[in-house]
Amino acid sequence: MNQKKYSLNELGWKDCFKKQYEAEDSAKYLPARVTMTHKGHLVVSTGESELLLKIAGKGIGSLNEQPTVGDWLLMDRETMVPVKVLDRTSLLQRMAPGQEVKLQPIAANIDTLFIVSSCNTEFNLNRIERYICLALEAGVDVTLVLTKEDLTEEAQQYRKQAEHLHEGMPIVTINGKDPESVECLQKWFRPGETVALLGSSGVGKTTLLNTVNGTEKEKTGAIRHGDDKGRHTTTTRSLHVMKSGALLIDVPGIRELQLHDCHAGINRAFSEIVEAEDMCRFSDCSHKREPGCGVREALEDGSITQRRLDNYLKLKEEAEKNTEEIAERTKRKDGKKKNYSRKWKK
């Protein structure tokens, strides 16, 4: 974002946030939206000004949760230190990459998620399904945007492959560099609405942002010839106020998206398999050799595909495992806090 001044409404302020703010001491606190997150700091905007906040090892100020881009914070008017994260309308989060078992917020208070993939070897149905599960779990509308249609004669074949991933999901194929081609996306960019772009590196998210908004401020990286893989072109999560009045969140290319506590999203994304499971004779059916398996019958009559079933079972197992690990980590942390408290009470 630049230094232009905005009203709260122009930053995406809605009634649900206003009610929370009015329930507090509004004379003492000032609302601000997180417009950028980067290693060690984040940027917030009050509309009148932007502030750079450093993130210490234990977080920021007295906040008991990690803010992310799109969040609304209440700032102490005197110290300009954040004291509260307002309840979110939606939150995209994943298991943090690496060895440490913890959750990592991606973006908050999103109305629509654009899953951005490209019409080349980056296109992957299993990966797109992960993003769909994430969006559905968060209660966010989802649209699939297939970029680089100008670089292939098979754009419609990529689109056709994706048509059965989630019933009713809009799918658009575009040339992200062509303003006329991306015009079809404008209906999602309504004033005050927040749209997030999510996808792998090199699919053209930043190029798309520039074309839609008519800017060239963001640096973009070229695709390496031969493997269609792109350089990391965005290193921060950032929120942009668009000319249409919408707000666009750009997220760095994601290499790893491990799901956590995403059972509702997975069930909605794979609804045809869940329906088939309801017809199984046994509630703990593994869908392999048990008699009366509704899923095997659906496979035989073509109602579901083996690829979809394999990915469904994989994502379910992953989400259950990660949920258990987070619960165990939380239990250990709570136990340490209790022991520490007892020690001092003596």
Tell me if 346 is assigned to some domain: no
Tell me if 3 is assigned to some domain: no
Name the residue among 191, 208, 144, 211 with its Cα closest to residue 172: 144
Q: Are residues 51 and 113 in the same domain?
A: no
Q: What local confidence, expressed as pLDDT, does residue 17 receive? A: 97
- Residue at which a domain ends, from 62, 85, 108: 85
pLDDT at 224 over 50: no
Q: Are residues 158 and 290 in the same domain?
A: no
Reduced to 3 states, what is the DSSP secondary structure of residue 103?
strand
- Residue at which a domain ends, from 250, 279, 294: 250
The secondary structure of residue 8, as a DSSP letter, is: T
Backbone angles phi, psi at 103, to 5 degrees: -95, 150
**How does pLDDT run across 138-177, given as a tens digit for each residue?**
999 999 999 999 999 999 999 999 999 999 999 999 999 9
**Segment (H or E) for 341:** helix 306-345
Full-model pTM: 0.85
Q: What local confidence, expressed as pLDDT, does residue 34 receive? A: 96
Q: What local confidence, expressed as pLDDT, does residue 4 receive? A: 80
Range picked from 58-67, 68-77, 216-225 for highest mean pLDDT? 68-77
Q: What local confidence, expressed as pLDDT, does residue 218 receive? A: 46
Q: Are residues 279 and 184 in the same domain?
A: no
Q: What local confidence, expressed as pLDDT, does residue 330 receive? A: 72
Q: Beta-carbon neighbour count of residue 255 at 10 Å?
A: 9
Give the CATH number for residue 320: 1.10.40.50
What is the mean pLDDT of the segment spanning 67-88? Answer: 94
pLDDT at 122 over 80: yes
Q: Are residues 137 and 242 in the same domain?
A: yes
Q: Are residues 246 and 219 in the same domain?
A: yes
Give the CATH number for residue 163: 3.40.50.300
Q: What local confidence, expressed as pLDDT, does residue 64 receive? A: 67
Q: What local confidence, expressed as pLDDT, does residue 178 receive? A: 95
Structural Rg of the chain based on CA atoms: 22
Under 8 Å between Cβ of 121 and 148 = no
Orientation angle between helical segments 155-162 and 125-138, nearest 10 degrees: 50
CB half-sphere exposure, 52, CA atoms < 13 A: 5
What is the mean pLDDT of the segment spanning 108-126? Answer: 96
Tell me if 255 is assigned to some domain: no
Tell me if 149 is assigned to some domain: yes
- Residue at which a domain ends, from 40, 62, 85: 85
Q: What local confidence, expressed as pLDDT, does residue 250 receive? A: 87
Give the CATH number for residue 67: 2.40.50
- β partners of residue 228: none
Backbone angles phi, psi at 76, to 5 degrees: -65, 125
Tell me if 173 is assigned to some domain: yes
Q: Are residues 181 and 116 in the same domain?
A: yes
Tell me if 4 is assigned to some domain: no
pLDDT at 274 over 70: yes
Tell me if 145 is assigned to some domain: yes
Q: Are residues 103 and 215 in the same domain?
A: yes
Of all residues in the chain, the percent with pLDDT exceeding 90 is 64
Pairing of strands 247-250, 194-199: parallel
Q: Are residues 224 and 312 in the same domain?
A: no
- Structure confidence at residue 335 as a pLDDT band (50, 70, 90): low
Q: Are residues 126 and 203 in the same domain?
A: yes
Q: How far apart are CA 239 and CA 194, in angstroms?
A: 9
Across all residues in the chain, what is the average pLDDT?
86
Structurally, the chain folds into a number of domains equal to: 3
Q: What local confidence, expressed as pLDDT, does residue 340 receive? A: 46
Q: What local confidence, expressed as pLDDT, does residue 327 receive? A: 83
Q: Are residues 121 and 237 in the same domain?
A: yes
Beta strand extents in 224-279 (DSSP E only)? 237-241, 247-250
**How does pLDDT run across 10-48, given as a tens digit for each residue?**
999 999 999 999 998 889 999 999 999 987 889 999 999
pLDDT at 111 over 60: yes
- Structure confidence at residue 232 as a pLDDT band (50, 70, 90): very low
What is the mean pLDDT of the segment spanning 285-297? Answer: 91
Q: Are residues 104 and 239 in the same domain?
A: yes
Residue 128: which domain range?
91-250
Name the residue among 326, 230, 312 with its Cα closest to residue 263: 312
Q: What local confidence, expressed as pLDDT, does residue 10 receive? A: 95
What is the mean pLDDT of the segment spanning 227-242? Answer: 62
